């Protein structure tokens, strides 16, 4: 159902069931048997667990797992779309790779002061709801910097913006989040107040390059607007 599996520590993590069913399976890579310690005997309704952790009073309807999770040091970093279902934000969650227990959840569209990034985003939505910003692609991790990078999708509705004046942070943005805490480190918005569904089409790619005689930790992301963005990922 998703855009590929993830392999880590001898385990394959993959989404199954009907498209958008949000079922994550953890399977022993050698034997194909479910990992009993993960979720409910190797199976988890992952969107339900993430949304329940972040918004206890909200249902998970509309959220969807698409991009494969990233993995580092025993932790899974799971992303949720959808941008088009008129729901608040793509969600990035840190989960224990053995059990599936949620450690923290970051929302790409902060809903209030309880959400990290609220001070930067609060005045960028005027009127209507703060919705969209789904994460469709796999995150990238720099363990030395302690950062995880995600690309947030378009605001909703994607072709009509009269009910969401402003630049609508953090939609259509490259985001760097602290691995340990889920706190926002920095962001770069590629399209302000998107009206064309021009979100970033692929996940962030990390690279190191020497320019002007000095090393630079780079990040690249491609957009539907035919621009390729190169940033210093620090």
Residues designated as active site: 197
- Inter-residue contact 54 to 91 (CB < 8 Å): yes
d(CA 124, CA 185): 19
Residue 119, H or E segment: helix 118-121
In 10 A of CB 132, how many CB atoms?
30
CB atoms within 10 A of CB 78: 30
Distance CA 112, CA 30 (A): 45
Query: CA 188, CA 20: separation in Å to the nearest integer?
Result: 29
- C-alpha 109/C-alpha 125 separation (Å) is 10
CA atoms of 11 and 95, how far apart (whole Å): 15
Under 8 Å between Cβ of 15 and 24: yes
Q: Look at the chain and count its residues.
A: 234
**Cis peptide leading into 157, omega within 30 of 0?**
yes
CB distance 140 to 72 below 8 Å? no
């Amino acid at each position: 159902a998703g855009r590929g599996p993830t392999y880590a520590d001898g385990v394959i993590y993959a989404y199954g069931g009907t498209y958008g069913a949000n079922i994550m399976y953890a399977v022993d890579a050698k034997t194909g048997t479910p990992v009993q310690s993960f979720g409910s005997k190797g199976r988890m309704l992952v969107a339900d667990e993430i949304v329940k952790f972040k918004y206890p009073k909200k249902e998970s309807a509309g959220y969807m797992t698409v991009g494969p999770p990233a993995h580092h040091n025993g932790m899974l970093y799971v992303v949720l779309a959808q941008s088009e279902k008129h729901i608040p934000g793509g969600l990035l969650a840190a989960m224990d790779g053995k059990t599936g227990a949620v450690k923290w959840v970051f929302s790409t569209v902060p809903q209030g002061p309880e959400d990290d990034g609220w001070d930067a985003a609060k005045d960028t939505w005027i009127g209507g709801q703060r919705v969209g910003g789904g994460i469709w692609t796999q995150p990238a991790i720099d363990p030395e910097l302690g950062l995880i990078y995600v690309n947030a999708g378009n605001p909703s509705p994607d072709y009509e913006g009269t009910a969401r004046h402003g630049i609508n942070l953090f939609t259509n943005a490259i985001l760097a989040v602290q691995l340990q805490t889920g706190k926002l480190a920095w962001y770069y918005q590629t399209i302000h107040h998107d009206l064309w569904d021009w979100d970033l089409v692929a996940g962030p790619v990390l690279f190191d390059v020497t320019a002007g005689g000095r090393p630079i930790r780079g990040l690249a992301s491609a957009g539907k607007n035919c621009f390729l963005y190169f940033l210093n990922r620090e």
